[in-house]
Structure 1
Amino acid sequence: MDLIPRPGRTTTGEGGFFELGPDTTVLADEGTEATDRWLRATLGAATGLPLAPGAGDGGVLRLSLDRELAAEGYRLAVTPAGVRLAGGGPAGLFWGAQTLRQLLGPDAFRRAPLPGRRWRLPLTEVEDAPRFRWRGLMLDVARHFMPKDGVLRYLDLMAAHKLNVLHFHLTDDQGWRVEIERYPKLTETASWRSRTKFGHRASPLWEEKPHGGYYTQDDIREIVAYAAERHITVVPEIDVPGHSQAAIAAYPELGNTDVVDTAGLTVWDTWGVSPNVLAPTDHTLRFYEGVFEELLALFPSEFIHVGGDECPKDQWRKSPAAQARIKELGLTDEDELQSWFIKHFDRWLTARGRRLIGWDEILEGGLAAGAAVSSWRGYAGGVAAARAGHDVVMCPEQQVYLDHRQDAGEDEPVPIGYVRTLEDVYRFEPVPPELTEEEAGHVLGTQANVWTEVMESPARVDYQVFPRLAAFAEVAWSDLPAPAERDYAGFERRMAAHYRRLDALGVAYRPPGGPLPWQKRPGVLGRPIDGPPPNK
């Protein structure tokens, strides 16, 4: 039973199989239509079997709902007569279908049938449900744009690992990636840069060609609908008030024009934290309200991410207009000015039935009760948020930043950050032990973050994300013991089968023995951090 993530309970029968064949049918009860469509399309393509609807003589794959199960839970039973798959809700049924696909073997992950294959399912019963409701992947498409087909592919990869939240990082200093109809310059100007730093910002290397791209509103609608069919919620991020140079390059009046010649700014072509931040003016607020109005029409998600991290205050300190705003609002300093900015959109989103979420810097200065926090600077922000009654998504950079290097060896391409091995990720624990049971209830779940400054191609993204995302998925889904007690050797054994699934899916993962020759980037500077990462 080489299943990843590990299910809650499995019972294996005494030998024997149920074999899918040309006469195998699918009987779908009311409410199971989405999984029925997915199953026929995906397994039908891989096996070449018709999987016709209704009852038949070649065994039946029966889909149903059982409200006694958890909403995302499922029960899968394989008998000599066929398969019974029940979900507590449509999502649970879909996750059960992912388990069924794994049981069919690695070739079930291909898009066309290979000759001579037999499609056998071991006699077994699986009952399963996730530990966390938020099992996320943050994908940064601002630093390096990922075309729409690549995003759809990653939604399929997430679904195969039972992950259910795509945190879509759409804007930053280096690019704006979503069409906003009332502000056309955000895509005409802010969606591309003239060149790109190759490697860490200390690298002397440049790629001297334009880089860019954006998603039209119809592209976004397609992505959101594709995700919804796979029971994945897409949470968009529009970064404010920092990480905004691309927007200021398109609309210079958004910047601090009394201290910077913003008309001369371009979309940033290097990495790091730009000093050019949004001006704390009513015009800026109205502009971004317009952005968020269009965004709410595209993304039905409960949460909207506003960034809120890494906002340098130097321009505000020098700006007479910003200082006058601080005085007018009765604030103490520039930190409170940033808090005022975030609180404005907290109230604005709440009034429209949505919830604000931001990086843990948004805690500084206080938040409305409904706001949630992405804890990235270690566990401390998450602990503080949970104790203050805020919901939390745990994504500490020391543990689950997948842009960080996977080994200390010199062959790792563009080594960034701490060494985070497959085993390190497997031993990550999202809930800090110092939280009480009530406080721990505010941990919605966890998320792995993929920042793409040094990921110039889909193959580089694959290399950094996999196989570690498989370990992360098990942490997010399965009810594992304490980190030191986890059976990593058993997980490695299951990964032997999972690598074959990734091969069938065409994932350019990092092999266990190290990078392949074409995966290396010799001579490209990174930013490795010496020493083990801190736990907190």
Structure 2
Amino acid sequence: MPAFSLLPRPAELATGAYDGLVLTPSTRIDADSAARGTEAWLRAELGAATGLPFPRGDGESAQIRLSVDAAAGLGTEGYRLIVDGEGALIVGNDPAGVFYGAQTLRQLLPPDAFRRAPLAGAAHWTLPSVRVTDRPRFAWRGCMLDVARHFMPKHGLLRFIDLLAMHKLNVLHLHLTDDQGWRVEIKRYPRLTEVGAWRAESQVGAGQPPVYDGRPHGGFYTQDDIREIVAYAAARHITVVPEIDIPGHSQAAIAAYPELGEGDPVDVGRDWGVIETVLNVSDTTLDFYRGVFDEVLELFPSRYVCVGGDECPKKQWRTSETAQRRIREEGLADEDELQSWFIRQFDAYLAERGRRLLGWDEILEGGLAEGATVLSWRGTEGGIAAARAGHDVVMCPTATSYLDYRQSADPDEPVPVGTVLTTADVYTADPVPPELAASGADRVLGAQVNVWTEHMDTPRSVDFMVFPRLSAFAETVWTRDTREYAEFWPRLRDHLRRLDALGVEYRPPAGPLPWQRRPGVAGWSPRS
């Protein structure tokens, strides 16, 4: 493995003139108070893989030194890593920068540095002599994980957070509620998890007529689980952004509390796709969700809170006396403006509490809430319109960001949905649309990839669909310089050995292995 298969590629990398630093039982780590979190993380990770104790040093006596220096001119989340004849030094602009420098230091070691226990007869551990200076291109480097469609147990989610951190991503957008499940405990409304966290069965694939597995599915995170998840992510400089969907994608909540809906009582959804069931627009429903968000805000310190706002059918509202009365009373033009009015109630609620509303680009329809930030998923048009209107944007268009989409045109791809999205496609996409290059690019906070799990029913299937495409995305949002896939590919090939050491069941470059296929399970393709 070449010495410098670093991923994402750093801004500046130079080979030093020294022999490097050999790690031994006497190698010490020291950190100033602001870098102590990374010191503990590095000792635990490298100690597990190498079997070395890495005792705490005392200033200059330590061979590995970590510090924060905001005056070093490194930029937000930036770092400098120097390995020379005196040892290894990581200086970060902030604690996050130190952490990213430590991630780079780990990549300078062989892939076995990513294992959980040392291998018998392992070779010496040597850090090569280098000088790296680096900082990210975007402030928002995210991944949306849908745990509503298929629940990911807590231990799997913590592992997923580690994988995001390894790739220097810093936002986990956690999709917690949908038609098919409610995954977070809300103490004042216990039926949300007693009823809403469980469905009788699940649709298998996307064929018509639908086929079901006859197997109950469910799960949820307790509030203590959420506190643990948020703290675990924060220690790795990842912000967890919660999503509670309103006013569509809410059938699980309506199954638990039928008074929230517009029609007859319903069960938790078992079908994929857009479901007609929506929330009513009564004051009672608004108060109910304010109560939900009161508890959500206590659990998630994130500045941003996602309310969904996407794929909200208007059929029930068109025949609803409550909805039509609200349209008249508020002087609204139609049901699109009614949805915008509904979203604005929570924009105001969040703003009063020092938070910012995040929503999918449908929140543009009928007028955008004043403080809203837009997730542009239906192409780039929504993001362009929002940026030109003075709103912040996170780019995640389906064609380049949806990791549930098929990875090739090969019929062996499991549950082949959407258009083909290869690793190269993810890598070569630029989060800033050319239409915003001259004006508006500053409104693009960054980008994220989205992992919708209708067809990913286990963590193994999530591994297959996410990697190595997430590795490519990580470089897209981190590296500022011109990127060429031909240059990236050899480094990715080497990076796969790190994923092997971690036990990540990624899609092999040659295609799915036999047990990664789903023969006979139908997918879907966009209409021509």
> In structure 1, how many angstroms separate the alpha carbons of the residues matched to 2:406 and 2:61?
50
- Of 491, 500, 505, the residue aligned with 2:502 is 505
8 Å CA contact retained: 1:302, 1:354: yes
- Of 16, 23, 28, the residue aligned with 1:25 is 28
Per-residue CA deviation, residues 398-454 of structure 1 (Å, 9 max, x unaligned), is: 111000000000100000101011111110100011115551101000000000000
Q: CA deviation at 1:323?
A: 0.9
* Counterpart position of 2:340: 339
Q: Is 1:396 the counterpart of 2:373 in the alignment? A: no
Q: Give the secondary-structure state (helix, strand or coil) at the position aligned to 2:464.
A: helix
Per-residue CA deviation, residues 443-469 of structure 1 (Å, 9 max, x unaligned), is: 000000000000011111110000000
Change (3 A) 1:410 1:204: same
Per-residue CA deviation, residues 464-513 of structure 1 (Å, 9 max, x unaligned), is: 000000000000111132xxxx3211111001210100001111100000
Q: Name the stretch that deviates more: 516-525 or 11-20.
A: 11-20
> In structure 2, how many angstroms separate the alpha carbons of the residues matched to 1:191 and 1:306?
19
- Of 219, 230, 243, the residue aligned with 1:224 is 230
8 Å CA contact retained: 1:423, 1:488: yes
Matches within 5 A, 1:190-209: 190-202=196-208, 204-209=210-215
Q: CA deviation at 1:341?
A: 0.2
Q: CA deviation at 1:14?
A: 3.8
Matches within 5 A, 1:474-513: 474-481=475-482, 486-513=483-510
8 Å CA contact retained: 2:82, 2:90: yes
* Counterpart position of 1:215: 221
* Counterpart position of 1:75: 80
Q: List structure 1 runs of 4+ shifted beyond 3 angstroms.
A: 55-59
Q: Name the stretch that deviates more: 16-25 or 343-352.
A: 16-25
8 Å CA contact retained: 2:361, 2:375: yes
8 Å CA contact retained: 1:376, 1:395: yes
Q: Is 1:140 the counterpart of 2:141 in the alignment? A: no
> In structure 1, how many angstroms separate the alpha carbons of the residues matched to 2:442 and 2:234?
26
Q: What is the one-letter code of the residue matched to 1:129?
A: R
Change (3 A) 1:127 1:335: same
* Counterpart position of 1:317: 318
Matches within 5 A, 1:191-340: 191-202=197-208, 204-256=210-262, 260-262=263-265, 265-340=266-341
* Counterpart position of 2:421: 420
8 Å CA contact retained: 1:9, 1:127: yes
* Counterpart position of 1:521: 518
> In structure 1, how many angstroms separate the alpha carbons of the residues matched to 2:37 and 2:209?
48
Q: What is the one-letter code of the residue matched to 1:91?
A: A
Q: Give the secondary-structure state (helix, strand or coil) at the position aligned to 1:234.
A: strand
Change (3 A) 1:89 1:59: closer
- Of 156, 160, 166, the residue aligned with 2:166 is 160
Q: CA deviation at 1:211?
A: 0.1
- Of 105, 125, 128, the residue aligned with 2:131 is 125
> In structure 2, how many angstroms separate the alpha carbons of the residues matched to 1:511 and 1:131?
29
Change (3 A) 1:432 1:56: closer
Q: CA deviation at 1:133?
A: 0.3
Task: For structure 1, list consecutive stretches of 5 or more residues without a partner in the other structure.
Answer: 532-536
Per-residue CA deviation, residues 504-523 of structure 1 (Å, 9 max, x unaligned), is: 11111000000000000000
Change (3 A) 1:198 1:401: same
Q: Give the secondary-structure state (helix, strand or coil) at the position aligned to 1:196.
A: coil
8 Å CA contact retained: 1:26, 1:60: yes
Matches within 5 A, 1:314-463: 314-463=315-464
Q: Is 1:48 the counterpart of 2:45 in the alignment? A: no
Q: Name the stretch that deviates more: 346-355 or 14-23.
A: 14-23
Q: Is 1:11 the counterpart of 2:20 in the alignment? A: no
Q: What is the one-letter code of the residue matched to 1:370?
A: G
Q: Is 1:170 the counterpart of 2:168 in the alignment? A: no
> In structure 1, how many angstroms separate the alpha carbons of the residues matched to 2:126 and 2:240?
35
> In structure 2, how many angstroms separate the alpha carbons of the residues matched to 1:254 and 1:201?
31
Q: CA deviation at 1:17?
A: 2.4
Q: CA deviation at 1:209?
A: 1.4
Q: Give the secondary-structure state (helix, strand or coil) at the position aligned to 2:80.
A: strand
Q: With structure 1 as the length reference, what TM-score do the two structures score?
A: 0.95
8 Å CA contact retained: 1:24, 1:57: no
- Of 73, 79, 99, the residue aligned with 1:94 is 99
Q: Name the stretch that deviates more: 22-31 or 157-166.
A: 22-31
Q: What is the one-letter code of the residue matched to 1:193?
A: R
8 Å CA contact retained: 1:73, 1:88: yes
Q: What is the one-letter code of the residue matched to 1:114?
A: L
Q: CA deviation at 1:42?
A: 0.9
Q: Give the secondary-structure state (helix, strand or coil) at the position aligned to 2:227.
A: helix
> In structure 1, how many angstroms separate the alpha carbons of the residues matched to 2:283 and 2:426?
44
> In structure 2, how many angstroms separate the alpha carbons of the residues matched to 1:30 and 1:439?
39
Q: Give the secondary-structure state (helix, strand or coil) at the position aligned to 1:447.
A: strand
Change (3 A) 1:57 1:47: farther
> In structure 2, how many angstroms separate the alpha carbons of the residues matched to 1:268 and 1:73?
45
Change (3 A) 1:80 1:208: same
Q: CA deviation at 1:78?
A: 0.5
Per-residue CA deviation, residues 203-235 of structure 1 (Å, 9 max, x unaligned), is: 643211110000000000000000000000000
Change (3 A) 1:314 1:107: same
Change (3 A) 1:327 1:57: closer
Q: With structure 2 as the length reference, what TM-score do the two structures score?
A: 0.97
> In structure 2, how many angstroms separate the alpha carbons of the residues matched to 1:214 and 1:261?
26
Per-residue CA deviation, residues 152-208 of structure 1 (Å, 9 max, x unaligned), is: 011000000000000000000000000000000000000010011111153643211
Q: What is the one-letter code of the residue matched to 2:31?
A: A
* Counterpart position of 2:114: 109
Identity %: 63
> In structure 1, how many angstroms separate the alpha carbons of the residues matched to 2:236 and 2:27?
24
Q: CA deviation at 1:302?
A: 0.2
Per-residue CA deviation, residues 310-352 of structure 1 (Å, 9 max, x unaligned), is: 0000000011221111111111111110000000100110011
Q: Give the secondary-structure state (helix, strand or coil) at the position aligned to 1:528.
A: coil
Change (3 A) 1:58 1:26: same
Per-residue CA deviation, residues 253-286 of structure 1 (Å, 9 max, x unaligned), is: 0001xxx212xx1001110111010001101100
